[in-house]
Amino acid sequence: MRQSQQVITVTGAVSATRLGIALPHEHVMVDFIGADRVSRSRYDADEVYRAVLPYLQKVRQAGCRTLMECTPAYLGRDPQLLQRLSRASGLYILTNTGWYGAASDKYLPAKVHTLTAEQIAAEWIGEFEKGIEGTSIRPGFIKIGVDPEPSPVDMRLLEAAAITHRKTGLTVASHTGVGSAARKQIERLKEMGVNPSAFIWVHAQVETDPQMHVWAAQQGAWVEFDGVSPQTVDQHVQLLVHMKRQGQLHRVLVSHDAGWYNVGEPGGGTFREYTTLFSQMLPALRKAGFTDGDTQQVTATNPQRAFTVQVRLA
């Protein structure tokens, strides 16, 4: 297997061609308590396992083969739980390295303020090379987050992600939202020698100017419309139709940003399913003129290419 064709899942590296239909942005478990108080003792992993497994089984039944779990460290990332759920559900699951600077640094460890981008990157590269927190489970991508007006710390995380990418080939998925913040990150990545094709603009549906989506796609970045729910199907179809008309469908990712067992709520609270894409969005896209080739591109080919581990230089 060539190094350039691999994706790293919680059960090991696999050929990217095996991913099948993938959901590039979902959550299994999240704990919003904050970096200063987050802890494994705040939840019962067996209970979370029992609560979430049926939803993973259901989406696999619907045709999904791979799920990228986007919960970063200090927000409830638990690679061993994901590994158990992957084995039990038959889904490939990817976890991540990286820190989340959105929400005004609530989910950042205090040490971030004393570390350089190089020192932060060294921690993330360590997880890639040695495994996460004493396990042999390796991250399949880098997850960061920035505020709508990225702070200096947010930009340091982006720089750490660029350094980590250049060393590991992991793709950078950044919780971003508005287009101005996406532009700022894409331009900084280019200055640091990283090709925008290594960058996923997460929550791009928040940006109301569709020309920003086209601009980012033309730069080579991945434009992720990830809030698919029964309430947003029409809006998401419009976003995709626009990208198709602009010839940019090969740069689009689609997911629910759903789940999740919410630590601290009884039974994990209300779980949002991962199936709207299959039950509602794909039929709506066909009605809007999408061919099987188009939907295959968006749901399988694009995630496969986006998450293939490969150094992409500007």
The answer for residues whose C-beta is within 8 angstroms of residue 312's C-beta and 6 or more apart is: 165, 169, 194, 195, 197, 198
Binding-site member from 64, 70, 81, 298 for Zn ion (CB under 5 A): 70
Angle, alpha carbons 5-201-273 (nearest 5°): 85
The DSSP call for residue 76 is T
Span near Zn ion by CB under 5 A; candidates 100-108, 151-159, 256-264, 268-276: 256-264
Nearest residue to Zn ion on Cβ basis: 257
Cβ-based neighbour number of residue 112 at 10 Å: 18
Q: Closer to Zn ion at the Cβ: 169 or 227? A: 227
Provide the minimum distance between the beta carbon of 309 and Zn ion in the complex, in angstroms, as a whole number.
21
Stretch that binds Zn ion, among 67-75, 78-86, 87-95, 144-152 (CB under 5 A): 67-75
Closest CB to Zn ion among residues 74, 290 = 74
Between residues 105 and 257, which has the closer beta carbon with respect to Zn ion? 257
Residue 147 Cβ vs Zn ion, minimum distance, rounded to whole Å: 15
CA distance linking residue 100 with residue 175, whole number of Å: 8
Give the shortest CB-25-to-Zn ion separation in angstroms: 6
User: Which CB sits closer to Zn ion, 127 or 257?
Assistant: 257
Quick one: which segment of 69-77, 141-149, 163-171, 189-197 binds Zn ion (CB under 5 A)? 69-77
Handedness of CA 205, 207, 211, 214 (dihedral sign): negative
Q: What ranges in the chain are assigned the alpha helix state H?
A: 45-61, 79-89, 117-130, 152-168, 179-191, 210-219, 233-245, 276, 282-287, 292-296, 302-307
Q: Vertex 131, ends 126 and 133: CA angle to 5°?
A: 90
Nearest CB to Zn ion, comparing residues 96 and 219: 96
Q: How far is the CB of 258 from Zn ion (least distance, A)?
A: 9
Residue entry with tokens 């999740």: 260
13-17 CB contacts, 8 Å cutoff, 24+ apart: 13/309, 14/92, 16/304, 16/305, 16/307, 16/308, 17/304
Residue selected from 163, 257, 305, 307 as contacting Zn ion according to rule CB under 5 A: 257
Residues 17-56 vs Zn ion: string with x where CB under 5 A?
A: ----------------------------------------
Least separation in angstroms between CB 285 and Zn ion: 22
Shortest reach from residue 157's CB to Zn ion, in Å: 16
Number of residues that bind Zn ion (CB under 5 A): 2
Least Å distance, CB 67 to Zn ion, is 12
Give dist(CA 268, CA 141) in Å, integer.
Answer: 26
> Taking the complex as a whole, how short is the minimal distance between the CB of residue 130 and Zn ion, in angstroms?
26
Between CA 229 and CA 117 the distance in angstroms is 36
Give the number of other CB atoms < 10 A from CB of residue 52.
23
For position 69 contacting Zn ion by CB under 5 A, the verdict is: no
Angstrom distance (rounded) from CA 249 to CA 243: 6
> Closer to Zn ion at the Cβ: 51 or 70?
70
- Which residues contact Zn ion (rule: CB under 5 A)? 70, 257
